[in-house]
């Protein structure tokens, strides 16, 4: 099980990303509108020296289409290390639906409420 907390009306969990140049641990906001694995701030991608994967086309919430760069990353997830594809963004750390595939998400929607991801 993965546990987190609602902070500022956003469900968040701690995410640990491993790269050739170290580790980044940060709060990842769960984004059910994001179909990918992780969106990482560009400075994190650069500081970990993540390996470039491919350019991807993404559709934003307003319907506009943008090109984004994707990178291979290792993530500590529920007691194991997973290799995933993360996109680099100018925003914050987001946890997408692909990352949570195979899990049940429960959010206690109140400030300080619990967030749990339980493997099915």
- 59-83: string of b/e by CB count within 10 Å (b at 16+)? eeeeeeeeeebbbebbbebeeeeee
Q: What is the pTM for the complete model shown?
A: 0.93
Q: Which CATH number fits the domain that encloses residue 95?
A: 2.40.70.10
Q: How far apart are CA 85 and CA 27, in angstroms?
A: 18
Q: Which domain holds residue 90?
A: 2-119
* Cα distance from N-terminal residue to C-terminal residue, the chain: 10
Count up the domains in the chain and report the number. Answer: 1
Q: Please compute the mean of the pLDDT values over residues 49-69 and round it to a whole number.
A: 90
Q: Which of the residue ranges 6-20, 48-62, 71-85, 103-117 would you say has the lowest mean pLDDT?
A: 48-62
CA-closest candidate to residue 58, choices 94, 22, 100: 94
């Amino acid at each position: 099980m993965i546990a987190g907390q609602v902070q500022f009306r956003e469900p968040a969990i701690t995410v640990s990303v491993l790269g050739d140049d170290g580790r980044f641990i940060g709060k990842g906001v769960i984004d059910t509108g994001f179909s990918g694995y992780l969106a990482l701030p560009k400075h994190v991608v650069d500081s970990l020296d993540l390996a470039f994967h491919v350019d991807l086309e993404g559709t934003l919430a307003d319907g506009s289409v943008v090109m984004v760069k994707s990178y291979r990353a290792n993530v500590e997830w529920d007691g194991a290390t997973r290799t995933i594809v993360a996109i680099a963004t100018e925003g914050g750390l987001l946890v997408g639906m692909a990352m949570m595939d195979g899990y049940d998400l429960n959010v206690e929607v109140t400030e300080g409420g619990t967030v749990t991801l339980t493997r099915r």
